[in-house]
Amino acid sequence: MDEIIVRGGHQLSGTVRVEGAKNAVLPVIAASLIASEGKSTITDVPELADVYTINEVLRSVNAEVKFENNTIYVDASNKLKTKAPFEYVRKMRASVLVLGPLLARYGHANVAMPGGCAIGSRPIDLHLKGFEAMGADVHVGNGFVEVSVDGRLKGAKIYLDVPSVGATENIMMAAALADGKTIIENSAKEPEIVDLANYLNKMGAKIVGAGTETIRIEGVETLTGAEHSIIPDRVEAGTFMVAAAITGGNVLIENAVSEHLRSVISKMEEMGVIIKEEGEGIRVIGPELLKATDIKTLPHPGFPTDMQSQMMTLMLCAQGTSVITETVFENRFMHVEEFRRMNAKMKIEGRSVIIEGPSELQGAEVAATDLRAAAALILAGLNAEGYTRVTELKHLDRGYVDLAGKLASLGADIERVNEQGDSINPFVQVEYETNKVVAEFS
Ligand SMILES: CC(=O)N[C@H]1[C@@H](OP(=O)(O)OP(=O)(O)OC[C@H]2O[C@@H](n3ccc(=O)[nH]c3=O)[C@H](O)[C@@H]2O)O[C@H](CO)[C@@H](O)[C@@H]1O
Ligand SMILES: C=C(OP(=O)(O)O)C(=O)O
C-alpha cells in the first residue's frame, strides 16, 4: 500500500490550481442517465477514484462513458438497466444518486442499500420519503432498495427534515421528469446543488430556486444530453488555504471561488490569516502567530463539515483553546486519535473537540480514517517536527488529485512511496476496472 511521507518545517509559496469539485461532478454524471436523447459533455472533471467509480456505475447500467483530458462524454440514449450492482455502492455512497434519474426515466430503480461509514450512520430515508411523495413504492430488503412507479412520477410538495445534499439532488433529478410541479422545502443550499440544477436546466429541465431553501421544479417529458463544466472544488481550495496558513506561507490558490468559501475565509481571518481575492483565485498568507477560535459545522452557508478536520489541524497550531463542534455527522472525529499520536493536545467531549494550542506536533505513523482526515493528517505533517507517514491513502484518492505532488510544487518536503519504498511522484493513477493508466500528474 502507498504511503505519503512528509517532513515538516517548510513554508509554502507559489501558485496551485484547484480541480473541478468531486461533490458536484458525481451528481452531474449520475444525472446524465436521465437524458434519453443526445450526448452529454462534462468538462473540468477531476481524475479521482470516485469519478472512476461513478463511471463504472453508469457503464454497468449500459450507458456509454468515455473519460479523457478531464472531460467525460456520456451517451445514455441506449435502453438502460435499472439495477446498479452492490460493489459500487460499497466503494462509494454517492452511487445512490442513480436512483432518482433511473426512477424518473424508467419507473424503476434498484441499488444496494448504502451502509454507514467512518463518519456516521448516513441513512437515505429522506431520499426515499421524497420518492414516495411523488407516488413511488419503496421496498427495502435483502440489502437492496427498490423504488418503482406505474407510469410517471407525480409532482409533490416535499419538506426535508434536514437539508440533506443527497436527498435534495436525488429528488430534484426525479422531479425533473415528473408530471406536474414539485416543491422541495428546506432543501440543501450548497453550491453543488446549484451546479446540478444548472446542468439539468441545460438538459431541458425547469428548475428555479436552487441555492435557496425552496426549489421549484416543473416536470418535463424528456431531457436531452448537454454540455456543462464543473464548478471548482471548494474543499480542495480550503485544504490548500490551511496548508498555506499552517506553514506561515504565501500561496495563490487559482480557481478558488471566494463566494463558496465565505465561512472558511471568515474563520481563518479570525485566526489571523491574511486572505485576499486576487484575479480568479485567493491569496493566503500565514501569520507568525495563529489565534484560537471556535467552529460549529452546519449545512451551507454554515461552516462545512468537509473542512472540519483540516481546520482542526490549524487550531492545533493556534495559541489558546479552540472548540470545534460537529453537528452534521455524529461520528466525524476518528482522526482525533491519530492527531494524538502526533502529540496533539485535544479531547473529545460529546459532539465537540477541545483543542489546547499550540501543540508541538511530532512526526509519527498515522492512518487516514476518511477522506478529509487523510488531508488533515498530511497538513499536520507539514507543521510537525520530523517525519510523518500517512497510510490508508485509498481514502485520499477518492477526493484529491495528487495532493502530495501539488504540495511538493509549493515547496513542501513530501513524497508518495509505494510498498517497495519507491517514490511515485509524479503519482500515476490507475483506473480501477480496466487497470489502464489514465492520468499522470507532475
Ligand atoms: C458526494 C457528496 O456530495 N457528499 C457530500 C454530501 O453527502 P450526503 O449527501 O451524504 O450528506 P447529507 O447532506 O445527505 O447528510 C447530512 C446529514 O443528514 C442526514 N441524512 C441524510 C439523508 C437522509 O436521507 N437522512 C438523513 O438523516 C445524514 O445522516 C447527515 O447527518 O453532503 C455532506 C454534507 O455537506 C458532505 O459531507 C459530503 O461530502
Ligand atoms: C464525506 C465526503 O464525501 P462522501 O459523501 O462522498 O463520503 C467528503 O467529500 O468529505
93 CB under 6 A from ligand 2? yes
Q: Which of 141, 139, 123 is nearest to 131 (CA)?
A: 139
Q: Is residue 317 annotated as a catalytic residue, yes or no?
A: no
β-bridge pairing 13-17 and 250-254: parallel
For residues 236 and 400, the answer to whether their CB atoms sit within 8 Å is yes
For residues 437 and 428, the answer to whether their CB atoms sit within 8 Å is yes
Collapsed DSSP state (helix, strand, coil) of residue 272: coil
pLDDT higher for 87 or 108?
108
Q: Which residues contact 212 (CB under 8 A, 6 or more apart)?
A: 187, 189
For residues 234 and 265, the answer to whether their CB atoms sit within 8 Å is no
361 CB under 6 A from ligand 1? no
What pLDDT score was predicted for residue 419?
84
122 CB under 6 A from ligand 1? yes
* Packed helices 99-106 and 165-176: angle between N→C axes, nearest 10 degrees: 20
- Grid cell locating 388: 510523518
DSSP 178-228: SBSEEEEES----HHHHHHHHHHHHTT-EEE-BTBSEEEEE--S--B--EE
Q: For the chain, give the percent of residues with pLDDT over 70.
A: 95
Do the interacting molecules here have an ipTM over 0.90? yes
Whether the pLDDT of residue 228 is over 80: the answer is: yes
131-154 tens-digit pLDDT: 999 999 999 998 899 999 999 999
Which listed ligand is nearest to 167 at the C-alpha?
1
Q: Which residues of 198-213 are buried (b: 16+ CB within 10 A; e: fewer)?
A: bbbbebbbebebbbee
For residue 25, CA distances in Å to 78, 182, 265, 309, 375 come to 22, 24, 24, 23, 20
Rounded distance between C-alpha atoms, residue 10 and residue 169, angstroms: 41
| CA 369 – ligand 2 centroid, Å | 12
Residue type, 41: T
What pLDDT score was predicted for residue 437?
38
378 CB under 6 A from ligand 1? no
- Grid cell locating 150: 406505474
Q: What is the pTM of this model?
A: 0.96
The tally of CA atoms less than 13 A away on the side-chain side of residue 195 is: 25
Could you identify the residue written with the cell 502567530?
289
Task: Give the closest residue (by CA) to ligand 2 atom 8.
Answer: 306
Say how many C-beta atoms besides its own lie within 10 A of residue 187's C-beta.
27
Could you identify the residue written with the cell 473540468?
44
Instruction: Please report which confidence band the pLDDT of residue 439 belongs to, taking 50, 70 and 90 as the band edges.
Output: very low
Instruction: Please report which confidence band the pLDDT of residue 434 belongs to, taking 50, 70 and 90 as the band edges.
Output: very low
For the chain, the average pLDDT equals 94
What pLDDT score was predicted for residue 440?
32
Q: Which of 426, 417, 412 is nearest to 5 (CA)?
A: 417
Q: Which of 117, 334, 417, 424 is catalytic?
A: 117
Lowest mean pLDDT among 30-44, 105-119, 253-267: 105-119
| CA 127 – ligand 1 centroid, Å | 11
For residues 32 and 223, the answer to whether their CB atoms sit within 8 Å is no
Atom of ligand 1 nearest to the CA of 371: 39
What pLDDT score was predicted for residue 421?
83
Q: Please give the DSSP secondary-structure letter assigned to residue 300.
A: T
Q: Can you list the alpha helix ranges (DSSP code H) found in 247-342?
A: 262-270, 308-316, 335-341
Domains of the chain plus CATH, in order, are: 3-19+232-440 (3.65.10.10), 22-229 (3.65.10.10)
161 CB under 6 A from ligand 1? no
255-280 tens-digit pLDDT: 999 999 999 999 999 999 999 999 99
* Packed helices 308-316 and 234-246: angle between N→C axes, nearest 10 degrees: 10
Q: Please give the DSSP secondary-structure letter assigned to residue 98.
A: G
Task: Give the closest residue (by CA) to ligand 2 atom 7.
Answer: 93
